[in-house]
C-alpha cells in the first residue's frame, strides 16, 4: 500500500494526549502521521517524560508524504492560548483544542489527510470557556455538515455500534424509533462495506428488553418497533439478525458469525466490549464523509507527564484508521 497521510490531534493539553503522541513516535509508522499540536507543548512534555524525540516542523501547504523516522514526529504547529501544565486544566486553551480539530477535520475534507486520529478532550473545560461542546462526534458532524452519525467501538474480534448513546436510561425506549433504527442500521451497513471492505456484513441486533421482550411479556418495543423495522431493512438487502437477547448474543456461538453488533443503548453493548478489549479498543465515528478514529479512554489528568500510561488504545486507533483508508482505496 502506498503511504498515506494522517492527522493526529493530542486533545486536552493538560492530559495524556501529548504524552501518547510522543510515546507513539518512538517507533516508525507506516504512513506520514502529522501531529496538529503546539510544538512548545510537545517539547515541554518530552522533557517531563525524558524522551529524546525529534520534532519536525511541517508547512501545511507542503505536507510530507513519507513516514517520519523512528524517534521523530511531524508537527503542524498550533500555538497554545496559555501555558499548559500537566494535570492542570485551563479553559483559555479551549480554542486551541478546537482549532486542532478544525485543522484536522478540514484537512480530511480537503484531501490533505486520509483520516484523523484523536486523543481525548475534556468536554467540561471547553464548556467552562463558554463554548457549547458535547464531544468530538458532534463537533465533527457539524464541521462536515453530517446529519446523522453513529458511535461504534471496536477491539480485535468485536465491533459494537449504538442506536442511542449518552441518554438517561429512562429516555432510551422512547428514543428507539423506526426512523432512528433505520438510519443507524443503514449507516452501520454502508460503512462496514465502504470503510471496512466487508462486502456483505452480517449484523447482530440486540433487543431492548430482557430476553428481547419475552414475546411481549417483558415489553413490546421488539414487537411494535424493532422487529418490523428490521424486516423492512432486510428487504433492502441488509443482513440483520435479531432482535436477540443481549445476555446471550455476546457469546462465541453468535459472535463468530457476525461482523458487528448493534446495541440499543450505551451500557448494553459497551461493558462487554470494554471487558474484552479495554486499553486496546478504538472509538470509530461512522456516517462522516471522513475517517475518524479515537482512543477509548479519557484525559487521565493524574497521569499526564508521569510516563505511566499505555499506548495500546492509540495504537489500535491508528491501526484501524490505516485499515479503513486501505479498504476505501481498494473500493474506489
Name 293's bridge partners: 117, 284
Q: List Cβ neighbours of 317 (8 Å cut-off, separation of 6 or more).
A: 117, 118, 282, 283, 293, 294, 295
Question: Binding residue per annotation — 93?
Answer: no
Question: Binding residue per annotation — 136?
Answer: yes
Residue 125, Cβ neighbours under 10 Å: how many? 21
Question: Binding residue per annotation — 137?
Answer: yes
- Length of the chain equals 332
Q: Is the peptide bond preceding residue 243 cis, with omega within 30 degrees of 0?
A: yes
Question: Binding residue per annotation — 253?
Answer: no
Question: Binding residue per annotation — 166?
Answer: yes
Question: Binding residue per annotation — 211?
Answer: yes
Q: Which whole-number Å values give the CA distances from 64 to 5, 18, 108, 180, in the listed order?
A: 8, 21, 15, 41
**Per-residue exposure over 197-210, b if at least 16 CB sit within 10 Å of its own CB, e if not:** bbeebebbbbbbbe
What phi and psi, each to the nearest 5 degrees, are found at residue 109?
A: -60, -35
Distance CA 256, CA 238 (A): 18
For 85, half-sphere exposure in the C-beta direction (CA atoms, 13 angstrom radius) is 3
Q: Which whole-number Å values give the CA distances from 33 to 8, 27, 39, 73, 318, in the listed order?
A: 7, 12, 15, 8, 9
β-bridge pairing 115-118 and 292-295: parallel
Cell 422487529 locates to: 227
Where do runs of H (alpha helix) occur along 110-237?
Answer: 123-128, 136-143, 169-175, 178-194, 221, 227-235
**Annotated binding-site positions:** 136-137, 166, 211, 266, 274, 283, 292
**Annotated binding-site positions for a divalent metal cation:** 166, 211, 266
**Annotated binding-site positions for substrate:** 136-137, 274, 283, 292
Amino acid at each position: 500500500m502506498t503511504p498515506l497521510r494522517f492527522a493526529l490531534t493530542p486533545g486536552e493539553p493538560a492530559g495524556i494526549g501529548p504524552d501518547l503522541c510522543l510515546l507513539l513516535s518512538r517507533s516508525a509508522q507506516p504512513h506520514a502521521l502529522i501531529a496538529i499540536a503546539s510544538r512548545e507543548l510537545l517539547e515541554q512534555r518530552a522533557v517531563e517524560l525524558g524522551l529524546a524525540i525529534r520534532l519536525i516542523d511541517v508547512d501545511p501547504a507542503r505536507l510530507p508524504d513519507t513516514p517520519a523516522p523512528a524517534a521523530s514526529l511531524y508537527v503542524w504547529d498550533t500555538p497554545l492560548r496559555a501555558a499548559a501544565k500537566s494535570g492542570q486544566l485551563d479553559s483559555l486553551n479551549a480554542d486551541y483544542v478546537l482549532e486542532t480539530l478544525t485543522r484536522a477535520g478540514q484537512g480530511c475534507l480537503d484531501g490533505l489527510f486520509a483520516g484523523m486520529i484523536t486523543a481525548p478532550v475534556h468536554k467540561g473545560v471547553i464548556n467552562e470557556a463558554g463554548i457549547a461542546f458535547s464531544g468530538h462526534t458532534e463537533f465533527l458532524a457539524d464541521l462536515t455538515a453530517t446529519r446523522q452519525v453513529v458511535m461504534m467501538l471496536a477491539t480485535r474480534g468485536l465491533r459494537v455500534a449504538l442506536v442511542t448513546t449518552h441518554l438517561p436510561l429512562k429516555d432510551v425506549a422512547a428514543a428507539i424509533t423506526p426512523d432512528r433504527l433505520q438510519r443507524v442500521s443503514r449507516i452501520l451497513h454502508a460503512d462496514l462495506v465502504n470503510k471496512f471492505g466487508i462486502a456483505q456484513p452480517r449484523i447482530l441486533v440486540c433487543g431492548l428488553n430482557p430476553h428481547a421482550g419475552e414475546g411481549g411479556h417483558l415489553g413490546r418495543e421488539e414487537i411494535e418497533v424493532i422487529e418490523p423495522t428490521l424486516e423492512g431493512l432486510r428487504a433492502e438487502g441488509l443482513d440483520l439478525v435479531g432482535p436477540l437477547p443481549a445476555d446471550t448474543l455476546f457469546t462465541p456461538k453468535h459472535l463468530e458469525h457476525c461482523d458487528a453488533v448493534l446495541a440499543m443503548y450505551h451500557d448494553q453493548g459497551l461493558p462487554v466490549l470494554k471487558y474484552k478489549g479495554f486499553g486496546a479498543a478504538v472509538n470509530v465515528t461512522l456516517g462522516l464523509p471522513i475517517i475518524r478514529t479515537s482512543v477509548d479512554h479519557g484525559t487521565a489528568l493524574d497521569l499526564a507527564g508521569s510516563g505511566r500510561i499505555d499506548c495500546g488504545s492509540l495504537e489500535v486507533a491508528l491501526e484501524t484508521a490505516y485499515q479503513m483508508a486501505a479498504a476505501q482505496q481498494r473500493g474506489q
